[in-house]
Amino acid sequence: MARRRHDWPTIFLEFVQGYPQEDGSTRWPTLKDISDKYGIKHSQVRRRASDKTDGSPKGLNWYEHRSRYVALMEQKRLEAAAAARARAATKFDEDCLSIANHGMLNLKARFLELQAGAVKGPGGKIISMPSAKPSELHLISNALLNFQKAGRLVLGEPTEVSDTRVGGGFSITQMTPEERKKRIDEMLNRQELLRQTGYVDTDS
């Protein structure tokens, strides 16, 4: 009677990689499970599992191969999770930059409306802005600073704005109307430059 031949490479892979379940888990067969499934004597399966010449790389028994396989799968799972978090973080940054950009554009439109009603003196110097309440200018300036800080943070730039001409810092709400206009224009012009150079997505 011819000796029955077994598909040991397939049996080896089943033991090492296990059986995927419908719930996404893996059932890890025992040597007895393998013996019962293929009708092989348990002692024969046990000897084969202890043989370090099966599989690749060689020099490992079946249990060692399984441990290496599980570690590899866990590493891939962690890498996939890290990549997913990185994609989510990138999308979040893009959304924040888009919000900051649109917010500054809306503030610019409102500021231009207020500027149109400004009273100017000799040389076009703004003397006052009758249509602009101090509280609204305060809100606009604070909103601009916050939008600017959000955009700079996303771009990896320092978020603290300073002006060395006034000793290392400034308060935009304490400026004259002309100084305030100049400072806000600088912020808006910088935003325009970012948009022109591709750092800001105006279509989102």
pLDDT tens sequence across 17-39: 999 999 988 999 999 999 999 99
Residues 35 and 49: their CA atoms lie apart, in Å, by 11
Instruction: Please determine, for residue 103, whether its predicted confidence score (pLDDT) is greater than 80.
Output: yes
Name the 3-class secondary structure at 27: strand
For residue 194, what pLDDT is reported?
53
Residue 158 φ then ψ, to 5°: -55, 140
Residue 87 confidence (pLDDT) above 60:
yes
Q: Tell me the CA distances in angstroms from 137 to 95, 100, 142, 186, one per residue in order.
A: 26, 18, 8, 16
Give the C-alpha separation, 30 to 23, whole Å. 20
* Residue 187, pLDDT above cutoff 50: yes
pLDDT 10s digits, 105-134: 888 888 888 878 777 778 777 777 777 777
CA distance 30 to 82: 33
